[in-house]
Structure 1
Amino acid sequence: MSGACAQGAALAFGCGPIGGRGDAGRAESLAALDAAWAGGIRHFDTAPSYGDGAGERLLGAALRRFPRAEVTVSSKVGRVRMAIADPYGPDTSRREPLFDFTSAAVRRSVATSLDRLGLDRLDLVLVHDPDQHLDVTLAETVPALREMPEVGAVGVGTTSVATAGALLGVVDVVMIANAWSLTRRDAAGLLDRCAAAGVAVLAAAPFDSGLLADGTAKYLYRDAPADVLARVRVMAAVCEAHGVRLPQAALRFPLRHPAVSRVVAGMRSAAEVRENLALIGTPVPEALWAALDQLVT
């Protein structure tokens, strides 16, 4: 396996940022997707709610140039619309989010996703943020997905450790976001359970929505609290003392747990893709992890 492929194998391309930006950034988004393929990334994750369908359409345009058999494509059902149209952009005005986890909605959603993506099958479908809808998820969503020949594996994608834990034994894959990062370790017990059950884990949002990438951006899509900012600055200094950049540690951290198969990072440009591939492919001294662990409360 080449160096690029080895780096890319650990990284999945999250389409949230390009979807949120929509067609306004089409050329840059397609260049990012091409750079991901060239760098060895083979898993591309999207959702209908990423830019109200734009994330799937952009990925679909790129997929026409990639050998289908070599690509893993995941999308989602249940969350129809985000509360913030582009959580990664400057406009944080909120709107009413929409959810529909009924079996009829799931079938329509998968069909629409396949049309946007130009595919006849999804390798993985994640039930998207079913935190307040577990009853219908168990009674309708998952059974509907299991019945669909155009759906491969079934998983859950959520920020809630409790939700993911409640669906262990029902799903094949867990995608957990904002709960297994340098600053947030809430998912540690969940990952142990996943490892014991043989459930693959996709660790999403390794940069905490931006803060760990540059130290000044949003934290969980909001302005970072002063105490979090201060702690991250200390983390950055500790990393520097070990000859490591903070985003390098942030990208590699999730892979410390054996249950994690890939890190899912949202990327907007070819430059970001190449930077992240270089970061995740650069080893981190073991002593650094012990020093960073002491800073987590």
Structure 2
Amino acid sequence: MAPATIPTFRIGLGLAAVGRPGYINLGRERDLPAERTVDAMRARTHELLDAAYAQGVRYVDAARSYGRSEEFLADWLKARPDAGDVVVGSKWGYTYTADWSTEAEHHEVKDHGLATYERQRAETDALLGDRLDLYQIHSVTPDSPALTDERLHERLAEAAAAGVTIGFSTSGPAQADAVRAALAVTVDGEPLFRTVQSTFNLLETSAAPALAEAHDAGLTVIVKEGMANGRLAGPHAPDALRAVAARASLGCDAVALAFVLRRPWAGVVLSGAATTGQLASNLRAAAADLDEDQLARLDALAEDPRAYWARRGQLPWH
């Protein structure tokens, strides 16, 4: 397989919140334009990308199911020839089905079959072409057929041989099991996956041991949902997080992301900012200095993963 192209800057920008009009993040009614037209969301995405690039962010994360995120990113890349050093990641496995509506019954449909990979890979190639560096299976769970489909593995290995790094993301209370199962997937005796993207935050820490194992096995670990879909932002943050943030003279968001950055296995931590102000505050996490007492107070916020994911599943699309 060809050498992997992986992100190196420790905070990246995820486009889940701005590539489509509806998502489950809290606070969207304040953060986004009142009229979430395609043009308005494209403009917001480009504004965020400009701000992120100016502040040193060099990894951007999209997905086929994030509405028009790949399209918005592709437009920005074409307009910014100076941004050739941006590492671009995207994901396949969910199809966006909301038709640019916040009221759809189903916003995305999951399918990890080979036919979906072939279709979505062609769609991604049509937009991002040779700018695609990392292609990830979206939200692998322990029962995902993507872990056992040898024909799919062969096609992914072909993409890797052509220079695209192959990774996977995880979701759900059994993330650790999914990570460990994926680490065992090989093609011709070589590990297939070079990156893993998982949910890890103050409230959901259950995947940490498996992510440490992935790091030790040579995978780059990308952390998503470090803000727990807005549950760790100022208006919704637990009292303990508010107290630590006040003592550190930082926003709750910066402290929450700093907690993740302290993990020795965390390679890249995604900001899911929807405004440039949120992005600037998120990026302050890189310079946050939390002491052991503060970290201990934050450690105590962890929830049972089943309870965490049950609550996440009840968040409305809005």
TM-score band, normalised by the shorter chain? 0.7 to 0.9
The residue that corresponds to 1:156 in the other structure is: 168
Q: Residues 221-260 of structure 1 correspond to what in structure 2 (within 5 A)?
A: 232-260=238-266
Would you say 1:33 and 2:44 are equivalent positions?
no
**Deviation digits for residues 201-234 of structure 1, max 9, x if unmatched?**
1010111001212233xxxxxxxxxxxx7xx123
4+ long deviations beyond 6 Å: 82-86
Superposition TM-score, scaled by structure 2 size: 0.75
Secondary structure of the structure 1 residue equivalent to 2:232: helix
The residue that corresponds to 1:281 in the other structure is: 287
Q: Which moved more, 1:245-254 or 1:103-112?
A: 103-112
**Deviation digits for residues 78-108 of structure 1, max 9, x if unmatched?**
111368978xxxx465316423323333122
Distance in 2 between the 1:36 and 1:244 partners? 19
The residue that corresponds to 2:278 in the other structure is: 272
Would you say 1:47 and 2:63 are equivalent positions?
yes
**Deviation digits for residues 124-176 of structure 1, max 9, x if unmatched?**
11101232753344313332121125551111112141222210143111100
Return 5+ residue gaps in structure 2 as ranges. Answer: 1-7, 22-37, 186-192, 304-318
**Deviation digits for residues 185-211 of structure 1, max 9, x if unmatched?**
111211221132122110101110012
Q: Residues 39-118 of structure 1 correspond to what in structure 2 (within 5 A)?
A: 39-51=55-67, 54-64=68-78, 65-67=80-82, 69-81=84-96, 91=102, 94-95=105-106, 97-117=108-128
Q: CA RMSD in A?
A: 2.6
Secondary structure of the structure 1 residue equivalent to 2:282: helix
Amino acid of the structure 2 residue aligned with 1:205? E
- TM-superposed deviation, 1:55: 0.5
- The one of 198, 203, 214 equivalent to 2:223 is 203
Amino acid of the structure 2 residue aligned with 1:57? E
- The one of 132, 140, 151 equivalent to 1:122 is 132
Q: Mark the CA change 1:75 to 1:146 in structure 2 (over 3 Å): closer, same or farther.
A: same
Amino acid of the structure 2 residue aligned with 1:58? F
Amino acid of the structure 1 residue aligned with 2:260? P
Is residue 240–residue 298 contact of structure 2 (8 Å, CA) maintained in 1?
no
Would you say 1:176 and 2:188 are equivalent positions?
no
Is residue 271–residue 279 contact of structure 2 (8 Å, CA) maintained in 1?
no
Distance in 2 between the 1:95 and 1:296 partners? 30
Q: Mark the CA change 1:173 to 1:195 in structure 2 (over 3 Å): closer, same or farther.
A: same
Superposition TM-score, scaled by structure 1 size: 0.80
Is residue 101–residue 137 contact of structure 1 (8 Å, CA) maintained in 2?
no
Q: Mark the CA change 1:121 to 1:70 in structure 2 (over 3 Å): closer, same or farther.
A: closer
Distance in 2 between the 1:38 and 1:56 partners? 20
Q: Which moved more, 1:99-108 or 1:249-258?
A: 99-108
- TM-superposed deviation, 1:236: 1.4
Distance in 1 between the 2:59 and 2:103 partners? 28
Secondary structure of the structure 1 residue equivalent to 2:56: coil
Q: Mark the CA change 1:32 to 1:71 in structure 2 (over 3 Å): closer, same or farther.
A: same
Q: Mark the CA change 1:131 to 1:50 in structure 2 (over 3 Å): closer, same or farther.
A: same
Count of matched residue pairs: 267
**Deviation digits for residues 51-81 of structure 1, max 9, x if unmatched?**
1xx1111111111204464111011111113
Return 5+ residue gaps in structure 1 as ranges. Answer: 1-7, 217-228
